[in-house]
Structure 1
Amino acid sequence: MLHKIHEQIRKAAEAINVSEESELKYIELAGEINRKLKAEFRDDSKALKKFKGNLDNFEAFCFEYLRIKTKTGDIVPLTLNNAQKKLAWTVFDQIKKGKPVRIIILKARQMGFSTTTEAIIYYLSSLQEAKNAFIVAQDSSASENLYDMFRLYYDYIPENIKPMRKRNNSRRLTFENPALKDVERKKEPGLKSKITVQSAENRVLARSETIHYLHISELAFWPENRKKKHLASLFAALSKEPRTVGIIESTANGIEIYKEMWDNAVAGKNDYIPLFFPWFEMPDYRMKVPADFDLTKEEIELKEKFNLNDEQLEWRRYTIRNDFEGDEKLFRQEYPSTPEEAFLVTGRTVFNQDKLDAMSKHTIKGKRYSIVIPPSLEGVGYDWTTVRFIEDERGELEIFNEFDPDKEYCIGADVAEGLEGGDGSAAYIIDADTGEDAAALYGQMDLDIYAKQLDYIGRMFGDALLGVESNNVGHSVINTLLNVTFYPNLYHHDSYNAEAGKNEAKPGWPTTVVTRPILVDSLIEGIREGVWRINDVNLIGEMKTFVRNKAGKPQAMGKGTLGGCKDDRVLGYGIAHQMRLRRPPSTKHIMIPSIGSVTIKR
């Protein structure tokens, strides 16, 4: 009797050990796979434990069990390089923490991240039950290549972890029992998981299914007329549960919705983890160095800045010379060293890009504040002594240089409607002598609030000459400045009144077919000659994407389209410089005792 009790205890302990061995950190091993492994390693628990150790180590799983086709046509184990490992570590670290995994990747060309992403998705989908994976490539050819990658993974996977597969004609791996008889399918149904690969060229994507693992490949190159609809459909289908995965990866393609998503990830405005991979992190991007190899000044700087070796620089030279016909700018866009280079705008840019690159090295981060405007007092206007500045990283006001009473300042203000998701109102306070930006005001604000902020800042900077764009909603801002806050130094523009037969001075800066070219040309000259210092990195960013459209009009690249760029800062800054050129020579500083030089109350 005692012997039987001990035997029962021993069997119970063995059952517990087997259960513990089957628990993996990142996946819940499917019943079908578990049964195959138990049958194969029935008498060798150590071998089973070692095998499951490989399943729990994604890098080992790739090398031991997954195969890829090289450019030479050889079938070899998938060996992850350091950049690919970084992606995998990021994914599995988030899974281990029980979070929904959301990652956006910006990369140089042909770095193997589709291979890695598909390996991650195959691992998660082919070893677990009831998981749906969905992959979308930019076109039919690319989607076929990705599907072939999955097929190769499946064809070479060991039989003991190869799930049953139901045959179908579409680009889909359906992991379930292919038997025709219901009794056989009920006895062993299989995983009931699937991997679907489709093209962004399709009219409809993922309308009626839940997605657990999503890969959006080369988003920047999707058909422009389908991006918005497809993304809305895919994101609605992607489960928000812990341990689900959504990966967006792409090389850059100018300024469009992918860049907007990347910028939002970098700014922390969405939950995607931004991962950037420069060209020199690709191990294959190296060439043998010739005997007469001498570094140029630029190559020496690159070598020091990014810790490059001569083989990498020789590969860079060869690629620029042969793939881009000597155009270094195109190389930087396709094989960037920084995210800024990835989104480099080529073509009909308005401002000198090299000058902007040089100026961007000297931008500074100012102190940011939110401005709390007091309520109006009936009959007496506003009590400006109660205005408060609250230090706030997302505040609308950024001060680069404190007010200097010995200097004169000008303000240019572009006006937007203040609609959420639309353009922002942008104003720049600049040194009237040097043109350097001392402060910037930017945000989506109600027009009366914007006017009161302009009034207060203008007074704070010595009653600076204030030019407000008078087009459309700008009249509302000007009305508040004239009749509510009574700003003392508002710019008035001389324009010819045909009916009266004379020039008349009207408040505000009118942006017209006559004045806009003057404003833009003045900025072109200033940037080209390098006569100003620009402190605001956001302003330089807008200048880099300020282009001439097909009709020749200078404006933001893709303006008015989904993911299009903005030019509010450019116009506000341009108006400020027009104020510099048009200010009366006798302008003097007028200080308000209640404000002083710079009153910042926290």
Structure 2
Amino acid sequence: MVIALAKEHRRRIKRRLQQRPDKLAELKAILLDFEQFCYRMLKIKDKSGAMVRLILNDAQRRYAAKVFEDLEAGKPVRIIILKARQMGFSTVTEALIYYFTSLQEAKNAFIVAQSSDASSNLFDMFQLYYERVPSVIQPMTRKNNAKKLTFENPAIRTADRRRNPGLKSKITVQTAESRVLARSDTIHYLHASEVAFWPAKKKKRHLLSLLAALSKEPGSIGIIESTANGMEEFKQIWDAAVKGENDFSPLFFAWFEMPDYRKPVPPGFELTEDELELKAKYGLDDEQLQWRRYTIRNDCGGDSRQFEQEYPSEPDEAFLLSGESIFDNKFIKRLKEAIKLKGAIYEIDFVKEQVVPAHAGELVIYHLPEQGKRYILSADTAKGTEDGDYDAAYVIDARTGEMCAALHGKWDTDLFGKKLNTLGLYYNTALLAVENNNTGESVLNTLFNTCHYPLLFLHKKGKLGWETNKATRPVMISDFKEAIRDELYDIYCPELFGECMTFIDNKGKAEADSGCHDDRIMAYSIALQVRQVADKWFEWFKKKQQQREESKHEENNGGAGWI
């Protein structure tokens, strides 16, 4: 049993139904079955404004089943939902929260919507649940403010309230437009609705505040749900959930899972090539495709990309429309999906100067070093701020441009330098180019003065590293765009393509979208630039090695020749 029925309800049920054992058994069965509770106890307004029973559709049922599965496993419920528009997830989430809060004691529920109007709509939904629920399980309420339901004894006398306090539970609905959210109370049930559309400047702070206030105990519920809105904080939480980097379970619901999303097929209806592909890929019928066609034409201004964001068929599709992207994100998605070579995970042990296989590590190797081959190792360093980019580096084949390894993480500058030193030596003493902006100078200092790396790239005489400036950056980005667009080289890093999807034109400057990163793009762009002049560096290094060997040989032979 996942609910502990409050004394107020047990007392009332016993008083009213003690002479009706059949009705008592029926009520208990309803209270133990959430879907039956929705159907038998809750009312909603349908799209025509009529008052109807809440009947869960398949998508809502799958979502509710996951909530109860985690509850019965004794886990705090953490779910993030990526969905198509108007699939009824607010309705079922509010039904879940009402179920748990109105039947149990001392529970705090907190709901945040993207705007004042949206929060009013959600609160009206709660009020309707409360007003239409059968009186036998309708808790006492005291006078509330505009958007709060407080389940307590409204009696004026203190003695009456002490004798029968009520549930001492409450449901609070607020808007993300508020300056501050949830600074005091512990939250047992949280619903963050349409997070992708919260005010951009408040979103991160609000989420931090809400999740900090959310109880970590088993039985607590935290739901984050939204339609996509480009690449922002909701996308970051979703991606982290998919990768297992947080404790949120990712649930995706495609538009065609909504039973209402279909229209009658008109005479002479013929499918386009795109529609035939969709039909085959997802098993759609003509009525669903007619609804899609109608919605694109009338709701999305004829833009199929807008439809894919609002009504995605799969998760990645939802995020493809992002700002003024410098790439066609559909094309980038195809490149990402076409990657055939999956790398192996390694660790760099710079103390033992080894690169070793690992179950979890910062280095992904696609091709091990081959004797006689020349390699380029390029690196972009983090900016040294809390929200700055990561350290990133790539190894590419100097002759073919093929990607051989990818390094990504956050380290102190001296540690990053030592890792690069070990990795460069591992790849046959690769030509090592580190961006010398920001923290790069410190990394280069470690490589030059501590590690004495023998083949460091100089941007110009006396200046270690690669310099990204007003003159070099546009060339770097242009060559990078050409390499991606024309598929000039074999690229195996899916995360690099992921950054391409959030690389936008911001008033003429190509850079990462707000809240996103371009560290991999910059590291790879440096590799492409350095590769164009790499031959002279390798020849210089070859001559330097030959001179060193000749000098060593002369010292050894010369000493013996004078005897």
What is aligned with 2:490? 533
- Find the counterpart in structure 1 of residue 406 from structure 2: 440
Indicate conservation of the 8 Å contact 1:165/1:175, yes or no. yes
Counterpart amino acid of 2:301? E
Tell me if 1:567 matches 2:518: yes
Correspondence for 1:544: 501
Instruction: Decide whether the 8 Å contact of 1:29 with 1:127 is kept in 2.
Output: yes
The offset of 1:537, in angstroms, is 0.5
Q: CA deviation at 1:133?
A: 1.1
Residue 350 of structure 2 is aligned to residue 373 of structure 1: yes
Larger % of helix: which? Answer: 2
CA distance in 1, matches of 2:355, 2:367: 19
Note the C-alpha offset of 1:36: 1.9
1:85 to 61, 65, 72: 61
Structure 1 residue 586, shift from structure 2 partner? 8.5
Alignment of 1:12-411 (within 5 A): 25-363=1-339, 364-374=341-351, 384=353, 387-393=354-360, 395-405=361-371, 407-411=373-377
Give, in angstroms, the shift of residue 91 of structure 1. 1.2
Query: For residues 435 and 288 of structure 1, what CA distance do their matches in structure 2 show?
Result: 53
1:170-227 residue CA offsets vs partner (Å, 9 max, x unmatched): 2111212223334443443322211111112222322332221111111111122222
Runs of 5+ in structure 2 lacking a partner? 546-563
Give the Å deviation of 1:443. Answer: 0.9
3-state secondary structure, aligned to 1:197: strand
Q: CA RMSD in A?
A: 2.2
Q: TM-score, normalised by structure 1?
A: 0.85
Is contact 1:359-1:533 (8 Å) kept?
no
Which deviates more, 137-146 or 443-452?
443-452
User: Does the 8 Å contact 1:352/1:528 carry over to 2?
Assistant: no
1:216 aligns to what SS in structure 2?
strand
Count of aligned residue pairs for this structure pair: 541
* Counterpart secondary structure, 1:204: coil
Which residue, 478, 488, 508 being the options, matches 1:521?
478
Equivalent residue letter for 2:441: H
2:493 matched to 1:493?
A: no
In the alignment, residue 582 of structure 1 is paired with which amino acid? Answer: V
Displacement after TM superposition at 1:407 (Å): 4.5
Given candidates 454, 459, 465, the residue that maps to 1:508 is: 465
Label 1:460 to 1:297 Cα distance change in 2 as closer, same or farther (>3 A). farther
Q: Which of 423, 440, 451 does residue 474 from structure 1 map onto?
A: 440
Q: Which moved more, 1:400-409 or 1:322-331?
A: 400-409
The one of 413, 420, 426 equivalent to 1:454 is: 420
Q: For the residues of structure 2 that align with 1:241 and 1:357, how far apart are their CA atoms?
A: 39
Specify the code of the residue in structure 2 equivalent to 1:556: A
Aligned-partner residue type, residue 452 of structure 1? K
CA distance in 1, matches of 2:265, 2:432: 59
Structure 1, 95-104 or 484-493: larger mean CA deviation: 484-493
Question: Are the equivalent residues in 1 in contact too, given 2:229–2:322 (CA < 8 A)?
Answer: no
- Tell me: CA distance 1:320–1:433, structure 2 relative to 1, closer, same or farther (3 Å): farther
Deviation, structure 1 residue 268: 2.0
Structure 1: gaps of 5 or more residues: 1-24, 376-383, 495-503, 559-563, 593-602
Residues in 1 aligned to 2:251 and 2:398: alpha-carbon distance in whole angstroms: 41
In 2, the alpha carbon distance for the partners of 1:388 and 1:534 equals: 22
Letter in structure 2 aligned against 1:465: L
* Matched letter for residue 438 of structure 2: N
The question of 1:464 aligning with 2:425 is answered no
Where does residue 584 of structure 1 map in the other structure? Answer: 535
Q: Residue deviations 1:306-361, cap 9 Å, x none?
A: 22222222211211122122211111111112221222243421233233122111
TM-aligned CA distance change 1:41 to 1:215, over 3 Å: same
1:19 — aligned with what? Answer: none
The amino acid of 1:372's aligned partner reads D
Partner-residue secondary structure (3-state), 1:274 = strand
Question: Structure 1 pair 431/301, CA: closer, same or farther in 2 (3 Å)?
Answer: farther
2-structure distance, mates of 1:48, 1:121: 24
2:120 and 2:147 in contact (8 A); partners too: yes
Q: 1:355 is matched by which residue type in structure 2?
A: F
Q: Which amino acid is 1:455 matched to?
A: N
From the superposition, tell whether residues 299 and 533 of structure 1 become closer, same or farther in structure 2 (CA, over 3 Å).
farther
Partner of 1:378: none
> For residues 524-559 of structure 1, what are the alpha-carbon distances to aligned partners after superposition, in whole Å with 9 as ceiling and x for unaligned?
112222222321110000111011213x2111101x
Aligned partner of 2:528: which letter?
H
Question: 1-side partners of 2:148 and 2:383: how far apart?
Answer: 48
2:346·2:355 contact (CA, 8 Å) conserved in 1? Answer: no
